[in-house]
Amino acid sequence: MAEIAYWEAIRRAHDEELAHDRMVIAMGEDIGVAGGTYKATSGLYQKYGADRIIDTPISENSYTGIGIGASMAGMRPIIEIMSINFALLALDTLINAAAKIRYMSGGRASCPIVMRTPGGTAHQLAAQHSARLARMFMSTPGLRVVTPRGPLDAYGMLKSAVRCNDPVIIIEHESMYNMRGEVPDTETFRPLEGAEIVRAGTDVTLIGYNYSVHLCLAAAEKLAAMGISAEVLDLRALRPIDRDTIRRSVEKTHKAVIAEEDEATVGVGAEIISVIMEECFFALDAQPVRVHAADVPVPYNRQLEKAAIPNADDVLAAALKVLGRV
Amino acid sequence: MNASDQKRLLREMIFYRRFEERTFEAYMERKIGGFLHLYSGQEAVATGVLEAARCGHDYVITGYRDHIHAIKAGAPAREVMAELYGKETGSSRGRGGSMHIFDPTVNFMGGYALVGQPFPLAAGLALACKHKGTDQIAICFLGDGANNQGTFHETLNMASLWKLPVLFVCENNLYAIGTRIDRSSAVTDQYKRVAAYNIPSSQHDGQDIDVVMASAGDAVAHVRAGRGPYFIEFMTYRQRGHSMSDSNAYRSKDEEREWLERDPLKIYGERLKKAGIVTDKDIAAMEKSVLEEIENDIVRFAEESPEPRVEDLNKYCLDDQPDPRWIGPLAQGEQHG
């Protein structure tokens, strides 16, 4: 077991899967000679060559489509989109093609692609580099959507995504690439379905995914100091949602907070609250609370950006609200 | 090409025309739903190009006017008809319909309704062929209207850059639904547009199957030899509207008459008659046998086939038999703090 950075975990998963299967290729902007914007493919061009680590032009919709076409003929492409904002350009091939080909061919064709992309705010990247957009992909049948919160899932879920026969969207986060965590030295796969109880507790359930799990963990620490036992649940997968684990946790704590970095409207929190209402409405002691971004394009100014994006104190305040402590 | 192959090709084109006409009838009887785009008038293009390729070996992909491309590529015609009827025995198990015929068993990788979307998919199929080191190629059929999409330019650039074995076949029927080409494309000769990407290209008569076969043969040879992509444009004309709801109000009767004179079945039939390969009597016999085949085999199969079961609504959305090692669920022991 070694502690490695999130980007190193992604790089290791690429390396192992490229070595395991010659049909695995990686493609994206600057991933080869330049080594990847977040170093997630560094050194792989030198090791596997230009035919398998493909530097693409800035043509998101079509290079994604090329990956999809290749996957229909037996390849296993890992497609990197430098920022989830740019994935909007590839929505036609992702949503109109990749997500629908298996279904509209009656199961006769499939496109086992992996699309990796960072979504989230970082440091004053402004409106066109700060989108999160998980909600858009999680609402699309035919896709799998996962949100690794740390190096272990970043490594193990990428490996599973490459082996899986469905199109998988992996949403990473610009602020997590240098985050460190333990990853086993031996080959490990992490499943693409199933929420995870990251911290057990009894008084309130804090639900997060991707970066917001860390906000929940920080809030749980503060709550513990106040004598409140918070359970932290990492959704891990946004499609499909693990309804059972959410239900079990809320039935135990009777209170729920959902933290998302995205805007609230038609969002992850809205969906999770619906799940809670449908699964365990009568277990609730208080109305669930969403913690989410302000309903504006993300501003550049440091203070405005900070005000637009939720932090651990916002999660704490929401928890105190559902607990009736404010 | 010997006389028996020539006769076979003539019969094939007659078959394709009558097949489409029969789908029209079934559509009017409301046995076929959705949108229905007929290929009547353009038969020489798909027939000639795919005659020059290796069907079942090469990959073929196209837009929504796809019935005939699928059949010529090797999809059983009765399954294509059953798909139009929405039946479980259809090419796409009744889930795709007219615009989404698939038969991966013969490497027919689908019809797509997003104009221009097949460009990158075709290049991806070609990338796979190149990666595997086979001598397969990918053939992408699209109309002239598709060339105004970004995918056209993006894909041509990458296909040329990476020397992918892909043949782009432009079926220029002069209209993007109701907008004439000189009102939508700043350069009306489509083959000239690809010069920007250093891809060899040419333009040919798409109504004469001999011209199509000869020119496509050269193009296929170029691509198969590993010399990169080729773009071939065929001038053609659809005899019917864009789809069933289109009355062709935007086309002049003179223009339609002019192109009907250049009907591909007529051109080829006349040529074979002149060469003494067929007689009027032979053609009449072909027509009769085609109609019998369509009625007694193809339509009957579609009519008698079962509908998909409503219980199977969610089938085919994702892999129905996923490997738990990759999918989960997460075991208790795998949870970590």
Query: Which residues from chain B sit within 8 angstroms of residue A101, using beta carbons?
Result: 110
Q: Is there a catalytic annotation at residue A129?
A: yes
Alpha-carbon A25 to chain mean position: 21
Report the mean per-residue pLDDT for chain B.
96
What is the distance between the alpha carbons of residues A53 and A44, in angstroms, rounded to a whole number? Answer: 7
Query: Which residues from chain B sit within 8 angstroms of residue A108, using beta carbons?
Result: 91-93, 102-105
Catalytic residue among A14, A129, A173, A292: A129
Band (pLDDT 50/70/90 cuts) for residue B304 is very high
Return the axis-axis angle of helices A60-72 and B118-132, rounded to nearest 10°: 50
pLDDT of residue B337: 44
B193-234 pLDDT, tens digit each: 999 999 999 999 999 999 999 999 999 999 999 999 999 999
In terms of C-beta density within 10 A (0-12 exposed, 13-18 middle, 19 or more buried), how is residue B302 classed? buried
CATH code, A211: 3.40.50.920
Low-confidence ranges of chain A (pLDDT < 70): none
The number of distinct structural domains making up chain A is 2
- β-sheet bridge partners, residue A207: A233, A258
pLDDT of residue B335: 58
> Is A149 found in the same domain as A9?
yes
Let me know if residue A189 belongs to a domain.
Answer: no
Let me know if residue A53 belongs to a domain.
Answer: yes
* Domain of A215, in residue numbers: 196-322
Amino acid B335 reads Q
Element (H, E) at A257: strand A256-263
> Is A214 found in the same domain as A130?
no
Let me know if residue A155 belongs to a domain.
Answer: yes
> Is A287 found in the same domain as A245?
yes
> Is A11 found in the same domain as A138?
yes
- For B165-177, the DSSP string reads -EEEEEEE-SEET
Distance from CA of B232 to the nearest CA of A (A): 20
Phi (first) and psi of residue B31, to 5 degrees: -85, -20
Interface of B with A in 128-147 (CB under 8 A): 128-129, 131-132, 138
Band (pLDDT 50/70/90 cuts) for residue B13 is very high
> Is A257 found in the same domain as A148?
no
> Last residue of a domain, which of A126, A156, A183?
A183
B71-97 pLDDT, tens digit each: 999 999 999 999 999 999 999 999 999
Band (pLDDT 50/70/90 cuts) for residue B131 is very high
pLDDT of residue B167: 98
CB-based contact B158 A68, cutoff 8 Å: no
In sequence order, which residues have a C-beta less than 8 Å from that of residue B30 and are 6 or more positions away? none
Let me know if residue A7 belongs to a domain.
Answer: yes
pLDDT of residue B241: 86
Let me know if residue A188 belongs to a domain.
Answer: no
> Is A278 found in the same domain as A179?
no
- The residue with tokens 């309130």 is A204
> Last residue of a domain, which of A183, A212, A244?
A183
CB-based contact A61 B120, cutoff 8 Å: yes
> Is A150 found in the same domain as A251?
no
What is the distance between the alpha carbons of residues B79 and B70, in angstroms, rounded to a whole number? Answer: 10
> Is A234 found in the same domain as A150?
no
> Is A275 found in the same domain as A217?
yes
Q: Does domain B3-334 have CATH number 3.40.50.970?
A: yes
> Is A238 found in the same domain as A308?
yes
Nearest by CB to residue A106, choosing from B94, B150, B326, is B94
What is the distance between the alpha carbons of residues B169 and B122, in angstroms, rounded to a whole number? Answer: 11
What is the distance between the alpha carbons of residues A238 and B215, in angstroms, rounded to a whole number? Answer: 51
CB A241 within 8 A of CB B329: no
What is the distance between the alpha carbons of residues A305 and A307, in angstroms, rounded to a whole number? Answer: 5
- The ipTM assigned to this model is 0.97
| pLDDT reading at B289 higher than 90 | yes
Nearest by CB to residue B328, choosing from A104, A192, A198, is A192
Element (H, E) at B73: helix B67-73
> Is A40 found in the same domain as A166?
yes
Question: b or e along A234-259 (b: 16 or more beta carbons within 10 Å of the residue's beta carbon)?
Answer: bbbbbbbbbeebbbbbbebbbbbbbb
CATH code, A104: 3.40.50.970
Q: Does A166 touch chain B (CB under 8 A)?
A: yes
CB-based contact B325 A70, cutoff 8 Å: no
| The token pair that represents A202 in the structure block | 């009894």
Of the two residues B18 and A131, the one the predictor is more confident about is B18
CB-based contact A193 B122, cutoff 8 Å: no
> Is A204 found in the same domain as A163?
no
| The token pair that represents A135 in the structure block | 């909600």
> Last residue of a domain, which of A159, A183, A207?
A183
